Structure 1
Amino acid sequence: MEPFRHSAALSLGVELELQLVNTHDYDLAPYSDEMLRLMKRIPLPGSVVPEMTSSMIEVSTGVCHSSSEVLGQLTQTRDALVKCADKLNIAVVGGGTHPFQQWHEQRIYNRPRFHQLTELYGYLTKQFTIFGQHVHIGCPDADAALLMLHRMSRYIPHFIALSASSPYVQAQDTQFDSARLNSVFAFPMSGRAPFTLSWDEFRNWFRKTTRTGVVKSMKDFYWDIRPKPEYGTIEIRVFDTPLTIERAAALSGFVQALAAWFIHEQPFTPVEDDYMVYTYNRFQACRFGLDAVYVEPSTGEHVPLREHIVSTLRRIDEHAHDVGATAAIDMLALSADLGANDAKWLRETHAREQLLAEMVRQASERFRGAK
C-alpha cells in the first residue's frame, strides 16, 4: 500500500459519473470516445476520463478549498460538456441510473482494467452502468483519515437521501429513491471499511487481504467510504449523481462542514457498535429517501431521517460559515424540510409527462442549466 500522502485538511475534490444519451429517444449512446476527443481540446481544471461502459463519462475537479470553488470548476466542465455534446447531437444527463436502458446492450469501454473486471464479475460489469458522485475530503494524517471515515459513516443515510436520483431501472419504478446502490452492493468488496482507528493496524489488515490474492490495491474495494492514501483523502462514494451541478457542489459543502465539525469539536468517538444499525439505516435511505427512518447509533432512538438531517445541518452551521458552505447548507436544509430530492423530481416529471424519454430530455435540460 502507498504511504498516506499529505493533503490540506478540508480540501475537496469531486468526481461525477455522467450519462451520454442520444437526442432521438434519449436512450444511452456509446459516444464516450467522441466526447473525450472533443473535450481534450478544451483546457479545464480536473480531468475527463472514460468509465466502465461506453455511454458513461467521468469528470472531476482539481483540488478545491470550498464548495463554491467546486461549483466554479464544475460549471466550466459542464459548459464544455454541453458544447461538445451539441456538436455530436447527443445530450449529457445527471441521475444515478438511466431509467430505461437495457444493461445487456451496453459496451464495455476498451481499457485493460475494465476487461479484467468483466472477466471476474461477468454481467455485473454491464449492470454497473450506474452513475455516482464521489467526494474526497483532505485529512491531516493517516490516523485522522480513519477517524474521519468512521465518524462520517454515521451520515451515510443523509448523503444517500439528499442525493438520491435513481428511482427507475429498466423502465420500472423500483420504489427505491436510490436503486443505484443495489447494483454496487452486488459486488463482494462493497460495504464498509474494517473498523480500525490506527493506520498501522489498517495497513496490516490490508497486507493480510492482499496475501489472499482477493484484492491487489485499494481500487478493488467498493466501500461506501474508502481511504485514498495516494491523495491524502477519504472518498465518500454513496452519492447518486445529482441532476444539477449546483446540488453536487452543495453536497460537497455538507461533507466539508461535517469534516470541519469533526476536526474542531471532536463531537464523538466512533466505536464498532455504531455499525450495528449501519446496514439498516443505509437500506432505509435507499428505499425511502428523505422519508426514511434513522436509528441513532449511540442511543437506538428512531427518528425521521429528514428531521435528523435538518438538526445536523443546524448543528454544523457555524462550521459551514467558516468554510464558506452556508449557501450549500441552506439549500440542503430546504430540500430536507420539503422532502424534495431529485428522485422526487423525476417521479413528478414522469407522472406529468407519462413518458420516460421526455423525463430524460427534461433532466438533460436541467443539467445544462436551463431554467
Structure 2
Amino acid sequence: MIQFHPSPSFTVGLEMEFQLVDPDSQDLVDGILPLLRECADVPSIKPEFIQNTVEVASSPARNLTELEAVMRPRIARLIQGCDRLGMALCGTGTHPFCHRPAVASPGSRYRGQSRAAGWLGRHQVTFAAHVHLGLPSGEEALRVMRELKPYLPLLIALSAASPFWQGDDTRFAAFRQRVLAASRSYGPPPDFQDWTAFEHFVATMRQARMLRVIRDLHWDLRPRGDFGTLEVRVMDAQPTLADSLAFAALLRALTRFLRDTRAESTGERALRPLFWWYLKENCFWASRHGIEAQLIVDDEGSLRSLREVARTTLESLEAYAEEDERRGLERLRQNLEGSLPYQRERRIHDRTGSLRDVVRVLCEELREECG
C-alpha cells in the first residue's frame, strides 16, 4: 500500500537544477562533492545523478511570496559557495557545447541508476525545474495529473531552454525532451482510474523488479505520496528564479482553474484530454518549434496555434490567480513576446557568435538576480 500524506493546504514547492561551470572556459565542472562540503550548512542543497549538477529545493510554501523568500537566500548561498570554489552556476536545460560524458555521483541509489541506464546515464546530461503541488488526497493527485496532461506541450514550449547540444544549434526549442526520450520512464504518464489502480501498477512493477521506489519513474507528472504532492517535472531548468517562480504561479492557478471548471463541457477550458498518440505528437512538436508549434486539439485533427493556446490560457487564469501569482503570469505573457528562454539563448549566440558567451550571460543573469 502506498500512503498519500495529505498536504495541509494548497502548498507549493520548487526544485531547481543548476549546471556547475568553469567561469573561464564556461564548460561543465564535476564539482558537486566539494560544493556539498562547502554548503554543508544548507541541507536543501543536494546532489543529483551526475556530478556537474546541483539541486536547490524549497520546503513546502503556502504561497509564492513565501516560496521566493525561501529560495532566494538558498540560491545566494549556493552562488557564494561556488565563488569560493572557483565555479559558477548556470540555469538552462542543456549545456550548449560540452561533449564529455558525465560522471555519476557516489551512493548506492546513483550506482543502481548508473547500472540500469548503461551508456545513457553518462550521456543524458540535462537539467530541469520541478514544481510540487500540494494536494489533499491521492485521488485528487491522479485527477489533477489527468487534467494537466493536455497542457504538457504548453509547459514544454514556455519553459524551453535547450536549443543547443554539444556545440550545435539543434533547431529544437527544447532538445532536452529528445535526449530524455531515449530512456524508458520519461514522458507523459499513463492514466489511472483511482489510487488503487496506481498502487496495483506500482506493485506489479516492483514484482517484476522494474521499479524499486516511485522516484524510479521519471514521468512528466508524478504523484508523490510521501510528500503529498503532484510533481510537475516537464520543464527545462530556467535561467533565473523569477522564471521558475512563474511556472509555480502558472501551475497553481491552472490547478484551481481545472478544479473549478470540471463540470464544464464547453467554454473557457481550452485543452481537454486527447488520445495518447495525439498528446505524444503535440509534445514532440512543442519541443521542436516551441511556441510556434501547432497542436492537435480534438479527435478530428483540428489544429490550434500553441501561441494562441498560451494567450488564451493565461487570460483564463487571471481570475484564478492569487495576488502574488499575477507577477509570474505577467512574466510569462512578456516572455511570449520573443523572450522565452530558448529565444533569449539564440539571440545571445546570434549577437556574439559564441556558445561560451551564452553560458557566461546566463551565469551573470542569475548572479545579478540572487548573488
TM-score of the aligned structures, taking structure 1 as reference length: 0.93
2:86 paired with 1:85: no
In the other structure, the counterpart of 1:234 is 230
In 1, Cα distance between equivalents of 2:263 and 2:85 = 51
In the other structure, the counterpart of 1:49 is 46
Deviation at 1:103, TM superposition (A): 3.7
In the other structure, the counterpart of 2:268 is none
- CA contact under 8 A between 1:290 and 1:339: conserved in structure 2? no
Residue type of the alignment partner of 1:202 = F
In the other structure, the counterpart of 2:25 is 25
CA 1:240–1:267: 2 relative to 1, 3 Å = farther
- CA contact under 8 A between 1:154 and 1:297: conserved in structure 2? no
* TM-superposition CA deviations, 1:69-115 (whole Å, max 9, x none): 222222111111111111112100100011111242x2111121111
* TM-superposition CA deviations, 1:266-290 (whole Å, max 9, x none): 2568987443411011011111111
- CA contact under 8 A between 2:146 and 2:273: conserved in structure 1? no
In 2, Cα distance between equivalents of 1:251 and 1:115 = 32
Deviation at 1:261, TM superposition (A): 1.2
Residue type of the alignment partner of 2:293 = A
- CA contact under 8 A between 1:293 and 1:305: conserved in structure 2? yes
- My pick for the range that moved more, 111-120 or 159-168, is 111-120
In 1, Cα distance between equivalents of 2:54 and 2:116 = 22
In the other structure, the counterpart of 1:222 is 218
Deviation at 1:136, TM superposition (A): 0.7
In 1, Cα distance between equivalents of 2:263 and 2:302 = 18
Residue type of the alignment partner of 1:137 = L
CA 1:297–1:47: 2 relative to 1, 3 Å = farther
In 2, Cα distance between equivalents of 1:181 and 1:347 = 18
In 2, Cα distance between equivalents of 1:233 and 1:102 = 36
CA 1:268–1:108: 2 relative to 1, 3 Å = farther
Structure 1: runs of 5 or more not aligned: none
* TM-superposition CA deviations, 1:325-371 (whole Å, max 9, x none): 111111112222x1421111111101111111122111100111269
- CA contact under 8 A between 2:3 and 2:225: conserved in structure 1? yes
- CA contact under 8 A between 1:10 and 1:260: conserved in structure 2? no
Deviation at 1:146, TM superposition (A): 0.5
Residue type of the alignment partner of 2:282 = N
* TM-superposition CA deviations, 1:260-312 (whole Å, max 9, x none): 11223325689874434110110111111111112224764311101101101
2:4 paired with 1:4: yes
- CA contact under 8 A between 1:254 and 1:325: conserved in structure 2? yes
Structure 2: runs of 5 or more not aligned: 266-270
- My pick for the range that moved more, 32-41 or 265-274, is 265-274
2:353 paired with 1:357: no
- CA contact under 8 A between 1:135 and 1:252: conserved in structure 2? yes
- My pick for the range that moved more, 326-335 or 89-98, is 326-335
Alignment of 1:95-174 (within 5 A): 95-104=92-101, 106-174=102-170
- CA contact under 8 A between 1:177 and 1:289: conserved in structure 2? yes
In the other structure, the counterpart of 2:284 is 283
Deviation at 1:241, TM superposition (A): 0.6
In 1, Cα distance between equivalents of 2:33 and 2:264 = 47
CA 1:267–1:59: 2 relative to 1, 3 Å = farther
* TM-superposition CA deviations, 1:155-201 (whole Å, max 9, x none): 11111111111111100111111111112211112223221231112
Residue type of the alignment partner of 1:134 = H
SS at match of 2:321: helix
Runs in 1 of length 4+ with deviation above 3 angstroms? 267-274, 297-300
In 2, Cα distance between equivalents of 1:292 and 1:190 = 21
Alignment of 1:197-346 (within 5 A): 197-266=193-262, 273-297=274-298, 300-321=301-322, 324-336=324-336, 338-346=337-345
In 1, Cα distance between equivalents of 2:176 and 2:60 = 27
Deviation at 1:212, TM superposition (A): 1.5
Deviation at 1:140, TM superposition (A): 1.6
SS at match of 1:62: coil
SS at match of 1:368: helix
- CA contact under 8 A between 1:306 and 1:339: conserved in structure 2? no
TM-score of the aligned structures, taking structure 2 as reference length: 0.93
In 2, Cα distance between equivalents of 1:148 and 1:278 = 16
Identity, % of aligned positions: 27
In the other structure, the counterpart of 2:174 is 178
CA 1:296–1:273: 2 relative to 1, 3 Å = closer
In 2, Cα distance between equivalents of 1:199 and 1:271 = 22
SS at match of 1:129: coil
SS at match of 1:13: strand
- CA contact under 8 A between 1:78 and 1:368: conserved in structure 2? no
SS at match of 2:279: helix
- CA contact under 8 A between 2:2 and 2:199: conserved in structure 1? no
In 2, Cα distance between equivalents of 1:201 and 1:359 = 46
Residue type of the alignment partner of 1:72 = A
* TM-superposition CA deviations, 1:44-83 (whole Å, max 9, x none): xx71111111111111011012223222222111111111
In the other structure, the counterpart of 2:368 is 369
CA 1:20–1:214: 2 relative to 1, 3 Å = same
Residue type of the alignment partner of 1:291 = E
In 2, Cα distance between equivalents of 1:199 and 1:319 = 27
